[in-house]
Structure 1
């Protein structure tokens, strides 16, 4: 064990001749190497902090300014207009400093102040430029002259070779919309969901709120916006995620899947070796800020704040509210296998283990025959149940002794790994059903074989398939998707495997054994574990999941119709829901607000007056030309709603923050209370493919990501996640609950498929093209 090795690093014995001190040279060498690695990391962080701190200028530009000022002075001109002489007058008098040296020092100080002023001015100009969002409302491919000039200025003031966090100080703050604008947009969004009397009643509540309490709450909210980087994000994290007392499994956590058609190796330990190595390579790039900032249209930066807590992070339960704790550079991962927990060191002598070495270490865990200790087997169920019992159990049974040390090991690990004994993926005689089982396994597993509190848990199955389960409070899905894309691509295309399916690289025979974690679980704690497991199991058993690939067409054909693929899919979801239920519902689509500092998400209310008018016209058999026109209007309306949400003119985050202010002030608002209690019976999200350059879908079309999904938000609703892959595929992940007799994930999936086909037939400029069967088109796509 690592603790045992550290304990014998030095020994001493007291003898009549004095103290006999014995040192372990290998232990001292390891201490030296570990310290050296730590100082290298500190130096890199310091260097990156300096580069980011002076961005969009560079540290070398300081020398250029100094030389330019000194050169100008030697031409007998004063670029400072007397300021250098003023600085020289106030310099401390030194006998060893000549008048010429004092002049040089004064010039250097003036140059430094001028340089800092230029940096501040450039950053302020860039911040003002990034506050312009007219570009996002222009038709793609058609740029106005104003936007062309704006893009040129942004590129000029953006500097060169930005690091991951270089733009953070230049991003604008999220604006606070006017109350009247938010109320107006809200009423417009609910108009198709209410009858005349209901809408009249809601309009009166909204008008009363706008004319009285709304302005008072808005004043406090604007005050918060002046002092905070983002007036939404901290309250959103606390009140939406961390204060939730129900299980985070299914209700909050989400998952990401492996490749759909390819399993790079069937050897579980080998797949784990490459996967874990890829995660650590990503963390190295993250710590060195070598990841490129995410730029929209190659020019507009997005906030990178959420990347900071990706690794070495855990959600800690509390009786009133949870907290998110982040540590620095953990050198191990926590591993679960057959009810046992292990600490697996990923570094030795300051170097990261090779994929082959990680494979060997994982195999040692797989071959370990030791049984779980009493209470250890289902310990992870505490993280899957209600939060209050977990917080109470943690405080009572895991605050001292061996349990605290083992729990600290899990919570402070870089991330969590589950070596699953099941086989998952698209396989067998019924591949559709196997994908459904795969999704449920990643979402909740056995309810005790994941650590749902970790920032993310990696799952590696017996047949070499993998996936991950992510906790939601610290970041949103696109950030985790960025990590997962890198891992999948690095695993298959960079690290690779040998002919036998094993990882590449050499193995150090002196690697220490993985460390088994010890537990002392009393019977009272086991009872708490079983209670949490029963709650979590009931929740997991109620989840109805359906995953399928729509291969009849993809964004290629949709774009030929000159319609946004996202708007096209959202309208298909509306059409499918209306055909199933006979009415419309409040629809949630996640949109990002990362154009602003520390931005997270905003809601796009996809069910609009225009979308409802189109669906009703299509279903009632109206004239085709009318349906086409209404279809275009609905798609354009959706795109406008999406763009407004991205640019800070959304509805729901503003109303949410006004509600929080009202609670702090102790005042009640019937309007806000009613708005925030409305159920989202259709909750949707698109998983974006952000790093297309990592995957060669032309030469390797089989390496297609299946995306990820989440559980239903409402007990009587659907959760729908979709990923647009390449030009010819859309993958859907649909969830609902068995306990609701009105929902069925497979039936809704079938309706979505038919709705997509019907919409393409309506919108396609050449309807003969849409007459092919899905089977024929799938063959062509392959």
Structure 2
């Protein structure tokens, strides 16, 4: 609870101050626009198409609170206090947040019965969740008020009741990570992504949920409709870069006053239909969880310092070409590959697609395992592939990509209208992103990141390129006979090692003394 209170306070400090990126800069404006989409709102399930709720104004009491979920019970915890001398409410001190957290946890532990696991309904398919939410609204005004309070709240905090640990994978042939264990990395990843025991201790419609377990292990889960992953990752990195203040820890007594104000229950009224829906949603969620083959790879042989300094290549393009090589070696074919490009230089800019699979990346991959191609030729092909990828990245970031334009044209078609291009089989196949990828910042303080595979027989890969290492978060599906996260980790490790060997064999000796 101490760590949760501290991280909540740090998160809201970033939200309120944004001192690192003032609004006088283009980056600051872009950051403010996107941060505004991350707090005090939620995704609302609707039939056929969801909507985003309007951003709740700070004058709304719900907008001055966070949603806390403990043992599947929902609560509101006020994190801002009104001030007579200032126009806007002021962020509470972390010790005030902690005192209220203690009161909430004590209430959740001592109240009779078990909570209705409403949170798991938000994990279900969107049309089912829309129907169940409509039914909840029809049962009572209290349910409408509870949902509105959750939607309008600043963010969500889930306090889990167990420290989840997976069995060690002793069969891995990869070198173990330093400073931690593979078991520790993957246990952390799984508990954040949800396991059967905590899947209803969530509200998946909030864009930013902080999750903390009894050991103090923490992470965030994001809903991706509002803004791009770089935004919550920046907030999270700010939150954890400063550890819990020791003065704050030492000042907190183990026994907290329980009769405190500033928090309230957010209860639901349910019937047999909702209870049945919760059981069905849990069954569906457990199937998804059990089908998810996800893990973290710490590649520690080198990082961006060597790629930029010695090889003089773009780190992002370098990693992308390594992923192409890893895919081909495990599948014997090529696939459309998605990489996210930010279009932040444009007003309200979101993303464009960088298509990693190109004629040049394909040529390099085919040459890598061809014994008739010498090392020098492979190096020439590598540099050409990386130059092409760098050009495609620049084009996507400056509005000269193709996918968002084509999506816009598709959406302009009226009922009954057709365009020959969009009926073309090649066009459809070119958007089957069996390799869905995205890079974030260096993530010095992150154990890993990740997202799901877009296709049943594909991979979802998020990576963090740090100066001395690269961290990969990889997900595939157990149900597919064509994929294996462990096998792909080995392929990435080998690809990164082999490409370095090609570079090292062709780099000129340094002229520096």
TM bracket (short chain): 0.7 to 0.9
Name the structure with the higher helix share. 1
2:263 equivalent in structure 1: 514
Q: 1:311 aligns with which of 29, 39, 43?
A: 39
Secondary structure at the counterpart of residue 383 of structure 2: helix
What is the RMSD of the two structures over their aligned residues, measured on CA atoms? 2.8
| 1:275 correspondence with 2:25 | no
1:381-428 per-position Cα deviation (integer Å, ceiling 9, x unaligned) = 110001112111211222532222222221221111100122258998
Q: Cα distance 1:501–1:628, how it changes in 2: closer, same or farther (>3 A)?
A: farther
Shift of 1:705: 2.0
Q: Say whether the 8 Å CA contact 2:15–2:35 is kept in structure 1.
A: no
* CA distance in 2 between partners of 1:549 and 1:395 (Å): 45
Q: Aligned ranges for residues 262-661 of structure 1 at < 5 Å?
A: 269-285=1-17, 291-292=21-22, 304-325=32-53, 326-329=55-58, 330-348=63-81, 350=83, 351-368=90-107, 369-371=109-111, 376-399=115-138, 400-423=140-163, 431-445=181-195, 446-489=198-241, 491-492=242-243, 496-498=245-247, 511-512=260-261, 514-559=263-308, 560-621=310-371, 622-661=373-412
Contact 1:542/1:738 (CA < 8 Å) preserved in 2?
yes
Pair 1:553–1:360, CA change in 2 (3 A): same
Q: Is the 8 A contact 2:324 2:357 kept in 1?
A: yes
Alignment: residue pair count: 477
| Residue pair 1:340, 1:371 contacting (<8 A) in 2 also | no
Shift, 1:439, TM fit: 1.6
Q: 1:765 Cα deviation (Å)? A: 5.9
Determine if contact 2:189/2:448 at 8 Å carries over to the other structure.
no
Secondary structure, aligned partner of 2:102? helix
Conserved? CA contact 1:656–1:676, under 8 Å: no
- CA–CA separation in structure 2 for the residues paired with 1:766 and 1:617: 16
Q: Who is 2:440 aligned against?
A: 687
Going from structure 1 to structure 2, the CA distance change for 1:438 and 1:419 (only over 3 Å counts) comes to same
The CA distance in 1 between the partners of 2:43 and 2:440, in whole Å, is 24
Give the secondary-structure state (helix, strand or coil) at the position aligned to 2:246. coil
Q: What SS does the corresponding residue of 2:110 show, helix, strand or coil?
A: coil
Q: Corresponding residue for 2:479? A: 739
Identify unmatched segments of 5+ residues in structure 1.
1-268, 691-702, 770-782
Q: Given that residues 342 and 351 in structure 2 are in contact (C-alpha distance below 8 angstroms), is that contact kept between their aligned partners in structure 1?
A: yes
* Helix, strand or coil at the partner of 1:309: coil
Instruction: Structure 2: state its 5+ residue gaps.
Output: 84-89, 171-180
C-alpha separation in 2, matches of 1:486 and 1:549 = 22
CA distance in 2, matches of 1:592, 1:359: 37
Residues in 1 aligned to 2:112 and 2:402: alpha-carbon distance in whole angstroms: 51
* Offset from partner CA, 1:292-313 (integer Å, 9 cap, x none): 35979x9x98575322222101
- Counterparts of 1:174-193 in structure 2, within 5 Å, are none
Which structure's CA Rg is the greater one? 1
Say if 1:338 and 1:372, in contact at 8 Å, map to a contact too. Answer: no
Shift of 1:671: 2.5
- Answer whether contact 2:448 2:471 (CA < 8 A) is retained: yes
> Equivalents in 2 of 1:628, 1:415: separation in Å?
48
Q: Please give the TM-score of this superposition, normalised by the length of structure 2.
A: 0.86
User: 1:501: how far off?
Assistant: 6.3
Deviation at 1:510, TM superposition (A): 7.5
Counterpart CA distance in 1 for 2:42 and 2:148 is 10
Aligned-residue offset at 1:348? 3.9
Q: Are the equivalent residues in 1 in contact too, given 2:42–2:151 (CA < 8 A)?
A: yes
